[in-house]
Amino acid sequence: MQAVWPGLAIEDGNLTVQISTLRRVLDRDRATGSCIQTIAGRGYRFLLPVSEVENSDAQKAAKIALPSKPSIAVLPFENLSGDPEQDYFADGMVEEIITALSRIRWLFVIARNSSFSYKGQAVDIKRVGEELGVHYVLEGSVRKASDRVRITVQLIETATGAHLWSEHFDSSLRDVFELQDNVAASVAGAIEPTLQAAEVHRSSGRATGDVTAYDLYLRALPHLAARQKERLFEALTLLREAIDRDPQCGPALAEAAQCHFEFDLNGWTEDREANLRTGLALAHRALHAAPNDPDVIANVAFVMAYFGEDIDAATALIDRALVLNPSCARGWYWSGVLRNWIGRPDLAVNYFETCLRLSPRGQFAYYLTGYGIALFFARRFEDAATKLLESLAQQPDYVLSLRFLAASYAHLGKVEETKSTIRRLRMITTALIDNGSRYRKNELREIYLSGLRRAVDIAQSA
């Protein structure tokens, strides 16, 4: 104990817990026996042969440079509740801890999407550090039973694998919000004890004080992430229940507004005007309920701009969100989208690159599409086509990606590629050309529309 955790207060049973975890991971495919043998009175012996493997070129290329300030990734916590249905609760706890840590401005925090790409995997901490470009990793477990919850966490330095700190936190569900803040504050204190970890408490901005509303909000999050019609309607049902419980739950209001944006974008509403009014009303309620929550502000600003409110005001709102939380990957994404709309592709490119740095393993199709559009408006048509193809590899029927890809190929004079892209587009929609009204700068809008018109003409030629 003194050799591995010198000077730290560690529970006597911690070594047994770690060995049990190793056995569960390493013995997963073994028919009988464990590869870790207990030697009575001595310790443990690893029975399998060990060999050293050189890093491949791909592995070496996957390394990301460490940022200049302290950086951390919070990996998905293990659900020890014995009920797989409680996974959403464990995931929600991690998301809240990430949010609390993100509000510490001297700390660089990797976005949830990248952290959760390791869910269900036996991870090598050093590899995680290289792939995400972070100094520290926080991992742990959640046990929820009746009205009690226990979080066990450990902080690990990625370069050395050294365990810097570990602790467990117990609470009733009534005090679950204070529990999350205590975890975040303790992690911050372990990373940088000379700085004020109390900053977490000062800026926590709880989503809701109602535990039931919070639980409903957590249940909605996996459905929101799926971005599928039926699941978005299920998410909206859960969010409405949360809002009924707590009408001032800013994140639930903001995510509900996002649902109405998705319904309009995908044509999943029979009454667009009513859907627009509802989405804007929810956005304004969210901003009133949580005026200092950066995630709420970023979501609301985009919804307002999308549904036609003043885009300069929306852009100023997102800038404020990024001042409050410089580690908000989604905020940088929405900010890049709005810069595309107002005709600042140079800034948009920088913002999308920041977004992808904060979420290196969470490069969703729509992130890459936004990046591709920024490159297109910057007249980097070859680079734009590359990013748009990456997006389409994940979401082959995304109309916006196909339109900009066709326009890119047309401007590049790539006839066969243009024809192929227009054929794909025709299989999905009859509206090959949109009005481009989102793009406020006439010059850039014309680059887009002229490229699309040229692409359609090429496809119709012999």
With 0-12 / 13-18 / 19 or more C-beta atoms within 10 angstroms meaning exposed / middle / buried, residue 71 is buried
Whole-number pLDDT of residue 374: 96
Please check whether the two domains, 64-202 and 210-290, share a CATH topology.
Answer: no
107-156 pLDDT, tens digit each: 888 988 888 888 888 888 988 998 898 888 989 898 887 788 888 888 88
Residues 6 or more apart in contact with residue 288 via CB below 8 angstroms: none
Strands 78-79 and 43-46: unpaired
Mean pLDDT of 362-388: 90
pTM: 0.64
Please write the tens of the pLDDT for every residue from 192-210: 543 333 334 434 445 566 7
Rounded CA gap, 232 and 223, in Å?
Answer: 6
Q: Match 């929405």 to its residue by tokens.
A: 334
Architecture of the domain whose range is 64-202:
3-Layer(aba) Sandwich (3.40)
Is residue 381 predicted with pLDDT exceeding 90?
yes
| Long-range residue pairs from 25-28, CB within 8 A, at least 24 positions apart, any chain | 25/122, 26/122
Contacts of 167 (CB under 8 A, 6+ apart): 152, 153, 154, 186
The C-alpha atoms of residue 121 and residue 145 are separated, in whole angstroms, by 25
Higher pLDDT pick, 14 / 366: 366
Domain limits, the chain? 1-51, 64-202, 210-290
- Other C-beta atoms lying within 10 Å of the C-beta of residue 29: 5
Q: Which helix (DSSP H) or strand (DSSP E) does residue 170 occupy? A: strand 163-172
Looking at the chain, the whole-number percentage of residues with pLDDT higher than 70 is 87
pLDDT tens digit sequence for 309-348: 899 999 999 988 888 888 888 889 999 999 999 999 999 9
Question: Domain 210-290: which CATH class?
Answer: mainly alpha
Q: Cβ contacts of residue 318 below 8 Å, gap of 6+?
A: 297, 298, 301, 302, 331, 334, 335, 338
Contact at 8 Å (CB) between 224 and 266?
A: no
* pLDDT computed for residue 348 by the predictor: 94
**Whole-number pLDDT of residue 358:** 85
Average pLDDT value for residue range 84-104? 81
Alpha-carbon torsion, ordered 188, 193, 195, 199, to 10 deg:
40
Which pLDDT band holds residue 67 (cuts at 50, 70, 90)? confident
CA-to-CA distance for 391 and 380, rounded, in angstroms? 17
- The reported pLDDT for the residue numbered 196 is 38
Quick: pLDDT tens for 164-183. Answer: 778 888 888 777 777 777 77
- pLDDT over threshold 90, residue 274: yes
